[in-house]
Amino acid sequence: MQCRRSGEAGPKRGIGADARAGAGPLAWRMAALLLALVCAGCGQARLDANLCPRDGQPARSTVLLLDTSDPLSVKHRAELQRLVNELQSQTAELQVAAGEALIVYELGADLGALAPVLTVCNPGEHPDQWEWWQQLTRGRAIDLQRWRRFREAVEGLFDQIEADAAQSSSPLIETLGVIVPRHAPSAREAASSAGGHTHLILFSDLLQHSEALSHYGPYPAGDAVRDTPGLRALQTDLTGIDVSLLRLERSRDARWQTRDHYYWWTHLVRSFGGRVVWQESI
């Protein structure tokens, strides 16, 4: 039996070595959890009143041109509602993805007064799609509120469209000449972005009608407009822009809305340097 010598210190009381070793990882986990709770919302993006980034530009812009020069039929209003649903969807083909902007214009005869009727950005990934660590480090309530604002803004677009009386002109190409330069990518962006920095959607009967060019009579081929004397001013640079063409068909216009007219726009867009990514008749 071993005896303790006089003056020799006995075993120290307190937390044993094994207990101290086990406390380390637990302490770190508690500290990390506390830090995550303190910093919840710290990674929140700074957004302006339109839910767009305050610092920098949206990753991509979808520019929607709505042709209301003629009242929309019941069918076409239903198609517009479908389009509105797709724009705010998280999976649809025409969705405005996280961090991207939606800018909406209505076709009008006065090009000088042309201004967006809606500008809004997708505020980011929906909280329901977050990973576990995002649930800890981001403010779910803030993001849900932002998503509600985004959806209300896009849904409100449908309510803003009025069934106005038919307009005497439909200057579609001239309108593109005004709005495209506002939202077109720079030369560097166009060269580096394979997917297109801007997505242009035309929701229209696509029957161009102005003093310069009208589809209600003889007109040059789509890819010849840029080289036709008197029409060169209509050319708009669509380099780096993806274009979707949604043609609204009307029985009264069947004489003009032919198969050749359908593809006329395809050739026009390509001759202007753009890329047609979606095209359909409705």
Domains of the chain (ranges; CATH) run: 61-127+139-281 (3.40.50)
C-alpha span between 140 and 63 (Å, rounded): 29
Greater model confidence, 184 or 186: 184
147 has pLDDT over 50: yes
Strongest mean pLDDT among 39-53, 107-121, 192-206: 107-121
Angle at 280 between CA 106 and CA 99, to 5 degrees: 60
14-28, 55-69, 183-197: range with lowest mean pLDDT: 14-28
C-alpha span between 203 and 81 (Å, rounded): 12
Q: What is the pLDDT of residue 17?
A: 44
pLDDT band at 167 (very low <50, low <70, confident <90, very high): confident
C-alpha span between 31 and 11 (Å, rounded): 32
Of the candidates 148, 144, 131, the residue with the CA atom closest to the CA atom of residue 36:
131
DSSP annotation of 184: P
For 14-34, how does the pLDDT look when each residue is reduced to its tens digit (9 = 90+)?
A: 444 444 444 556 655 555 545
Q: What is the pLDDT of residue 5?
A: 43
What are the b/e assignments for 204-242, b being 16+ CB within 10 Å?
Answer: bbbbbbeeebebeeebeebeebbeeeebeebbbebebbb
Instruction: Report the SS3 class of residue 121.
Output: strand
- Look over the chain and give the mean of its residue pLDDT values, rounded to a whole number: 81
Greater model confidence, 272 or 146: 272
37 has pLDDT over 60: no
Q: What is the pLDDT of residue 251?
A: 95
Backbone angles phi, psi at 198, to 5 degrees: -130, 135
Residue 240: what residue type? G
36-50, 70-84, 236-250: range with lowest mean pLDDT: 36-50
**CB neighbour list of residue 145: distance below 8 Å, 6 or more residues apart:** none
For 99-115, how does the pLDDT look when each residue is reduced to its tens digit (9 = 90+)?
A: 899 999 999 888 999 99
Average pLDDT value for residue range 252-271: 97
Share of the chain residues as helix, strand and coil, in percent rounded to the nearest 5: 40, 15, 45
Average pLDDT value for residue range 173-182: 96
Q: What is the pLDDT of residue 36?
A: 47
pLDDT band at 71 (very low <50, low <70, confident <90, very high): confident
Read off the pTM: 0.78
Strongest mean pLDDT among 29-33, 116-120, 126-130, 258-262: 258-262
What are the b/e assignments for 41-75, b being 16+ CB within 10 Å?
Answer: eeeebebeebbbbeeeebebbbbbbbbbbbebeee
pLDDT band at 197 (very low <50, low <70, confident <90, very high): confident
pLDDT-above-90 percentage for the chain: 49
Q: What is the pLDDT of residue 2?
A: 46
